Amino acid sequence: MKYRLNVGDEIPDLQVLKSENPGLLRFIASDREHDVSFKVLGANHYQLTVNGKSTEAFVVSDHQGKHVVIKGRSFFVQDADKLPQRRAGTGRTEDFPGDVTPPMPAVVVRIMVKEGDRVKKGQGLVVVTAMKMETTLAAPRDGRVKKINTSLQAKVAPGDILVEIEEETHD
Amino acid sequence: MATAHSECRIHHIRSPLCVLCASVVKNGETKMFKKVLIANRGEIALRIIRTCQEMGIVAVAAYSEADALSLHVLEADEAVFLGESEPSESYLNIEKLVAAAKSTGAEAVHPGYGFLAENPDFAQACEVSGLTFIGPPSKVIRDLGSKTVARRIMTSAGVPVIPGMLDAGTDMDDLFREAERIGYPVLVKAVAGGGGKGMRIVSRQEDFKEACLSAMSEAEKAFGNGAVYLEKRLESPRHVEFQILADYQGHVVHLFERECSIQRRHQKIIEETPSPALTPSLREAMGRAAVSAAKASGYVNAGTVEFLLDPSGRFYFLEVNTRLQVEHPITEMTTGLDLVRQQMQIAAGSPLTFTQEQVVPRGHALECRIYAEDPENRFFPSPGLVLLHREPSGPGVRNDCGIYEGFRIPVEYDPIISKLVVWAGDREAAIRRMIRALEHYAVAGVRTTIPFLIDVLNSPEFVQGGTHTGFIDRHFARWTQNKEDADLARFAYVIDELSSPGKAAAGLRAAGLPAPWQTLGGWSL
């Protein structure tokens, strides 16, 4: 089976081969073979042994992908082949280049544009606050504010489109 | 006829019940509180609850809407609902907190850190309501809360302060003369300032007037007060603070130092004790200065005297934190004292049970603050649902944590998840132990500072002990996640997909892909 798994915008081809041993898989990544034996320790808990070195891994899924924690580091892994059907994640900005979404759950404290405004790339549109820290969400491109989908004091999350920017039509 | 009552040891009032602190006075013995309200949330509330329960004191939690399922509420013996999540309706609401204490019959209030901990009005509101505020008297909090009053107190006590002005002003000629006297670089600071507003660094004489004018106008706009004062600007200082304990009988001891130079956004993220920068004689001099600072201000209870230490070994008073400090556990690890217990005993009027000579710190302790924030994105807060939370353990490891798996970290409050603390025989062993503990701390669902902290602790700059307040900006400004184990993470993804058949099949269907495996020799494709 082939996978294209995105970690931090890197999507190498990954081939997976099953063996007769249910606890052994062969991975072919960047033309290198890795035989990986594994044990299932719990619902989210695995032990992987690669080239004789064993590592503990925790895996939890949310609706956008899986969080994998190895040695204190958390990796967000997404199947690139499934991404187009999902409305969020790193792939989405290419599909919706004019949409503005917060990086983290936050509360809207200022809206600095109104529908129909012309904006320049990098111009501040909305200020959100989370845990006493404010951040300004900027226009990802030049254009015109098509729609504002939020209001002051609204609780917002990544994936929520707060402002839609469309290409300016020249009449 | 003489009364049989002894006087309250705290307020020296002769009565069977001290009207100021309600502590029951009997034959000069001060009795410990039976019930204490904790006016805080999260890990620090839990920390205080634990000591209360060990001392046989009933711990009462107070909570807002967002915290109904918080650990401090679940662990407390009783809990009082304050109101909406907005801090002004809950943890910053003096009236509600005092009412909560009164209605539950608590005799004392522990403010923790943050929120109202250093608010003199809260301490005073407790005092006049007959509640013991577990902290210094309101007047002391008020005095030390003013930058210029605190500087005056320290100067008169012979504690070195950062060279600068004792009074703020707006007269440009006066300010210019002062700048010349102090010597460049100088820091222009708004007297009413905060958050970096109305603050300028001036390195050259010719830039002074313009920078000063713009600081004054910014301060005028932001605070309605354009007055500024000047301070010598120190290059690459270390932040070294001394823990102090002071009782109502006038004894003051220090519990040695904590080095807190590793900061992001002017907030500490790694603390350690002892400081790698202090020689025994410097440590003694700073400890003496900290005790003088406490005595000069009439200090009572636990507090922290903060100093800046310049590269030449000169130290300057910065401020007194009139509360339990976030990083107090490292002092507990090296001294063997429970600082919250000490606070309770002092507040109840008991004298300290040890002298300065009896405080002998051992080994080395480190604390890492685990924040729910994204170290790759300017440490932006990352609240949300905690999908996974596995804490490290093992010898010398302590984790003061306020969350659990399945908890939703609220967007309204500080992003601290926990304080991971280790103790070991020496600094090198403590660093190795902290790295081990961090590598065994698994959190998913929210971003955390864990991977960033691992890299800082592994860096040669940190290992050599060359820390200063600009450390993160100098060495880790453009930090990104180490991708070394990204392939392992991909393997784990596939294994999880294959090990949970229901999920995998659904995933494949969703992707419109065929599920069956084609056979190829001993391996299936």
pLDDT digits (tens, 9 = 90+) for B100-155: 999 999 999 999 999 999 999 999 999 999 999 999 999 999 999 887 889 899 99
Residues of B in contact with A69 (CB under 8 A): 388, 442-444
Q: Check CB contact under 8 Å for A72 and B495.
A: no
pLDDT digits (tens, 9 = 90+) for A101-158: 888 888 898 999 999 999 998 888 998 888 767 788 888 888 999 999 999 989 898 8
Q: What is the pLDDT of residue A169?
A: 67
Q: How do B228-232 and B200-202 pair as beta strands?
A: unpaired
Are the CB atoms for B415 and B372 separated by under 8 Å? yes
**Averaged pLDDT for residues B329-334:** 98
Cβ of B442 under 8 Å from any chain A Cβ? yes
DSSP state of A20: S
**Averaged pLDDT for residues B172-197:** 85
- For residue A119, what is the enclosing H or E element? strand A118-119
Cβ of A38 under 8 Å from any chain B Cβ? yes
Nearest to B510 among A3, A70, A85 (CB): A85
User: What confidence category does residue B500 fall into, taking pLDDT thresholds of 50, 70 and 90?
Assistant: confident
Candidate ranges A99-108, B44-53, B160-169, B501-510; pick with highest mean pLDDT = B44-53
Candidate ranges A100-114, B1-15, B239-253; pick with highest mean pLDDT = B239-253
Q: What is the pLDDT of residue B509?
A: 44
Which residues contact residue B177 at a Cβ distance below 8 angstroms, ignoring those fewer than 6 apart?
none
Pick the more confident residue, B279 or B191. B279
% of chain A beyond a pLDDT of 90: 54
Q: What is the pLDDT of residue B107?
A: 97
Average model confidence (pLDDT) across chain A:
87
Task: Name residue B68's amino acid.
Answer: A
Cβ of B441 under 8 Å from any chain A Cβ? yes
CA dist., res. B24 & res. B184, Å (int): 56
Q: How many CA atoms lie within 13 A of B161 on its CB side?
A: 22
**What crossing angle do the helices spanning B120-128 and B94-104 adopt, rounded to 10°?**
30
Q: What is the pLDDT of residue B517?
A: 55
User: What confidence category does residue B22 fall into, taking pLDDT thresholds of 50, 70 and 90?
Assistant: very low
CA dist., res. B54 & res. B317, Å (int): 36
Residue B492 phi, psi dihedral angles, 5° rounding? -65, -35
CA dist., res. B178 & res. B173, Å (int): 9
Query: Whole-prediction pTM value?
Result: 0.84
Q: Tokens 């004689």 correspond to what residue? A: B281
Which neighbouring-strand residues pair with B259? Answer: B240, B272
Give the ipTM.
Answer: 0.82
User: What confidence category does residue B13 fall into, taking pLDDT thresholds of 50, 70 and 90?
Assistant: low
User: What confidence category does residue B236 fall into, taking pLDDT thresholds of 50, 70 and 90?
Assistant: confident
Q: Please give the residue of chain B at the shortest CA–CA distance from A6.
A: B490
Q: Chain A, 84-123: which have a CB under 8 Å from a chain B CB? A: 85, 103-107
DSSP state of B7: B
Which residues contact residue B267 at a Cβ distance below 8 angstroms, ignoring those fewer than 6 apart?
none
Q: Check CB contact under 8 Å for B490 and A5.
A: yes
- The CA-to-CA distance between both ends of chain A, in Å, stands at 51
Residue of B403, B480, B482, B496 to mutate, testing the A interface (most A Cβ within 10 Å of its Cβ) = B496
Residue of A61, A131, A132, A133 to mutate, testing the B interface (most B Cβ within 10 Å of its Cβ) = A131
Residues of A in contact with B444 (CB under 8 A): 58, 60, 67-69, 74
User: What confidence category does residue B354 fall into, taking pLDDT thresholds of 50, 70 and 90?
Assistant: very high
| pLDDT for B21 beyond 70 | no
Q: What is the pLDDT of residue B281?
A: 97
Which residues contact residue B501 at a Cβ distance below 8 angstroms, ignoring those fewer than 6 apart?
none
Cβ of B384 under 8 Å from any chain A Cβ? yes
- Burial label for B312, CB within 10 Å (0-12, 13-18, 19+), is exposed
Q: Check CB contact under 8 Å for B380 and A20.
A: no
Task: Please tell me whether residue A124 adopts helix, strand or coil conformation.
Answer: strand
Q: Check CB contact under 8 Å for B493 and A1.
A: no
Q: What is the pLDDT of residue A70?
A: 97
CA distance B493 to chain A (A): 7
Q: What is the pLDDT of residue B414?
A: 87
Residue of A73, A76, A133 to mutate, testing the B interface (most B Cβ within 10 Å of its Cβ) = A73
Lowest average pLDDT, out of B24-38, B170-184, B301-315, B454-468, goes to B24-38
User: What confidence category does residue A97 fall into, taking pLDDT thresholds of 50, 70 and 90?
Assistant: confident
Cβ of B455 under 8 Å from any chain A Cβ? no
Nearest to A8 among B372, B481, B517 (CB): B481
> Is there a catalytic annotation at residue B390?
no
Q: What is the pLDDT of residue A89?
A: 44
**Averaged pLDDT for residues B165-174:** 87
Catalytic residue among B41, B142, B200, B323: B323
Q: How many CA atoms lie within 13 A of B100 on its CB side?
A: 27
CA distances from B241 to B274, B295, B301, B319, B333 (A): 11, 16, 16, 9, 16
Cβ of B17 under 8 Å from any chain A Cβ? no
CA distance A73 to chain B (A): 5
Q: How many CA atoms lie within 13 A of B443 on its CB side?
A: 29
Structural domains in chain B plus CATH codes: 32-134 (3.40.50.20), 163-232 (3.30.1490.20), 238-475 (3.30.470.20), 486-524 (no CATH)
User: What confidence category does residue B15 fall into, taking pLDDT thresholds of 50, 70 and 90?
Assistant: low
Q: Check CB contact under 8 Å for A46 and B495.
A: yes
Residues of B in contact with A105 (CB under 8 A): 382-384, 411
pLDDT digits (tens, 9 = 90+) for A24-34: 999 998 889 99
Cβ of B380 under 8 Å from any chain A Cβ? yes
Q: What is the pLDDT of residue B279?
A: 96
Q: Please give the residue of chain B at the shortest CA–CA distance from A53.
A: B488
Structural domains in chain A plus CATH codes: 2-85 (3.30.700.30), 96-166 (2.40.50.100)
Pick the more confident residue, B194 or A149. A149
Q: Check CB contact under 8 Å for B490 and A77.
A: yes
Task: Name residue B293's amino acid.
Answer: A
CA distance A146 to chain B (A): 28
Cβ of A127 under 8 Å from any chain B Cβ? no
Average model confidence (pLDDT) across chain B:
90
Nearest to A71 among B485, B495, B511 (CB): B485
**Averaged pLDDT for residues B58-64:** 98
CA dist., res. B343 & res. B67, Å (int): 26
Q: What is the pLDDT of residue A92?
A: 42
User: What confidence category does residue B520 fall into, taking pLDDT thresholds of 50, 70 and 90?
Assistant: low
Residue A38 phi, psi dihedral angles, 5° rounding? -145, 155
Q: What is the pLDDT of residue B329?
A: 98
User: What confidence category does residue B169 fall into, taking pLDDT thresholds of 50, 70 and 90?
Assistant: confident
Are the CB atoms for A138 and A124 separated by under 8 Å? yes
| pLDDT for B339 beyond 80 | yes
Cβ of A46 under 8 Å from any chain B Cβ? yes
CA distance B399 to chain A (A): 15
Cβ of B521 under 8 Å from any chain A Cβ? no
CA distance A122 to chain B (A): 16
**Averaged pLDDT for residues B388-398:** 98
CA dist., res. B30 & res. B345, Å (int): 9
| pLDDT for B345 beyond 80 | yes
User: What confidence category does residue B30 fall into, taking pLDDT thresholds of 50, 70 and 90?
Assistant: low
Residues of A in contact with B489 (CB under 8 A): 7, 57, 68, 70, 75, 77
